[in-house]
Amino acid sequence: MRPSQRRIEERDAGVRVVSLCPGPVRTGFGAAAGGAAVHADRVGVRVSPVGSYNDMKDGAPRELFVAVAEAMQRRKIAYLHVVEALPGSFMFVEHPERISPFLRKAFRGAFIANGGYDAQSADQAIESGEVDLVAFGVPFLANPDFPERVRRGAPLNAADFATFYTPGPKGYSDYPALSAGS
Ligand SMILES: Cc1cc2nc3c(=O)[nH]c(=O)nc-3n(C[C@H](O)[C@H](O)[C@H](O)COP(=O)(O)O)c2cc1C
């Protein structure tokens, strides 16, 4: 959405985006935290500020997602998990600036990054203080023993992109683990 087409509202549960476009459609995005059933410190929120999957792209992601991060900071949720893939990742989205540093500044709880990291770039991001933790998707998918491979410096299985988002076990549970001697 373009900023002129939406209003960002903070509500009890988090942040809501209200469409200002005429017509019956009012779009809501809620980052829920701190409800009666679950305490905020047991809630984590995952956001993809520049993601465009299913046409969910926002016209001013820094403004919108800083508002989300600030709202989550006020509620002191357990962690903010930000998917903003590095160049080279299949999830990479071209955008004029990186949004994550602004979110890191706005949110002071545990900050998790995801998208295109390997063990080395994850270490660097953590050591530099850019992030607290890094989450891995594809490396885990293609390597059922990913932590053990990193520990041993063993080569990783290449991911089969053709099986991503396909039904059935192929590409999900058939990647080989290291054999005992390897
Ligand atoms: C086969 C596959 C299915 C995925 N399904 C989801 C999903 O349902 N929800 C989601 O938020 N992300 C999903 N993702 C994205 C991952 O959570 C992650 O953000 C992405 O793989 C980038 O991280 P990576 O570079 O460590 O793989 C999926 C990724 C893959 C490869």
Here the CATH number for the domain that contains residue 72 is 3.20.20.70
Encoded tokens for 181: 């001697």
Domain presence at residue 147: no
**Could you report the per-residue pLDDT of 133-146, keeping only the tens digit for each?**
999 999 999 999 99
Q: How confident is the model at residue 25 (pLDDT cuts 50, 70, 90)?
A: very low
Mean pLDDT of 155-173: 96
Supply the residue whose CA is at minimum distance from atom 18 of ligand 1. 137
Domain presence at residue 60: yes
Domain count, the chain: 1
Around ligand 1, the residues with Cβ closer than 6 Å are 83, 85, 89, 91, 114-117, 136-139, 141, 164-165
Domain of 82? 38-136
Cα separations (Å) of 142 from 46, 88, 136, 146, 177? Answer: 22, 17, 11, 8, 9
Question: From ligand 1's centre to the CA of 58, what distance in Å?
Answer: 20
Domain presence at residue 54: yes
Domain presence at residue 172: no
Of residues 36, 38, 109, 113, the one with CA closest to residue 72: 109
